[in-house]
Amino acid sequence: MVSIATWNINSVRLRADQVVRFLQQEGPDVLCLQEIKCPENLFPHDVFEQAGYTYRAISGQKGYHGVATVSRIPLREFSKHDWQDNGEARHIGVELTGPGQGLILENVYIPAGGDVPDREVNPKFGQKLDFLGRMTRWAEAIDRPTLIVGDFNIAPLECDVYSHKALLKVVSHTPLEVETLQRFADAHGWIDLGRKHIPAPDRNYSWWSYRSYWRQKDQGRRLDHMWASPDLAAQSRAHRFVEDTRRWEQPSDHIPLVTEFDL
């Protein structure tokens, strides 16, 4: 069994202790982090070394974005794509070289897309759609068992948000974003593991805004995802979201997801 987790940590240096707590509690073999908000030289390597996650691949930048994959099983850096086409650190790919040998694990942080779902008024929205377009063209050429995980910043299904009607015109759940993400899904036949194991319409949120008291109103969205190549998806045995991290002091606004594979 190999277990793989993903978590938008919203600053790895600020929440390094929480990451270690999660690693000790859940024990994933590999953890993909998004929004680490630091360059590689400021990444808290010693914290992960002491926790036993001695293999790391990082694409970071100062203050914003950034992704890191940390592991207690051997891996090597495999790819680093600039799907944003502007140098932002939003992707790192690794290949497992120990248990699960040959599996490609892609860790991505798709742009949020600003507040207005109109590329003419809001360039960030256009950048998000273009990012997904570049990912789609990449996915068409995949020829190896691949798992792509991370903060996709899109809740595709009506049941992936607390109110489909209220969020139809809100960035992250607009029909255009959902259609664009579906084209990415179709490009490789990706299987959405979150919905393989927790079928719609069961509650499966991964993000709650800091602005609304999340437990009282439960105004969640499923923005974080783990998608697998069809053959790899057939080997997934369990999937869970770890919601108690959202109750920790000064938490990330996202929670971790964990999938276990029989590799």
**pLDDT band at residue 116, thresholds of 50, 70 and 90?**
very high
How far apart are alpha carbons 48 and 30 in whole angstroms?
12
> Where does the pLDDT of residue 170 fall: very low under 50, low under 70, confident under 90, or very high at 90 and above?
very high
Whether pTM > 0.95 for this model: the answer is: yes
Helices 123-139/175-188 angle, 10° precision: 20
CB 132 within 8 A of CB 181: yes
Alpha-carbon distance of 236 to 3, in angstroms, equals 9
What residues make up the domain containing 40? Answer: 2-261
pLDDT, residue 214, reads 57
Which domain CATH number covers 48? Answer: 3.60.10.10
At residue 60, what is the residue type?
G
Is-contact 96 69, C-beta < 8 A?
no
Q: Which two tokens stand for residue 117?
A: 């779902």
Task: Report DSSP letters for 143-189, one per residue.
Answer: -S-EEEEEE-----SGGGBS-HHHHTTSTTS-HHHHHHHHHHHHHHT
- Mean pLDDT score of the chain: 96
Q: Is 218 left (phi over 0), alpha (psi -120 to 50) or beta?
A: left
Q: What is the mean pLDDT of residues 109-118?
A: 97
Domain count, the chain: 1
pLDDT digits (tens, 9 = 90+) for 50-59: 999 999 999 9
Contact 124, 118 (CB under 8 A): no
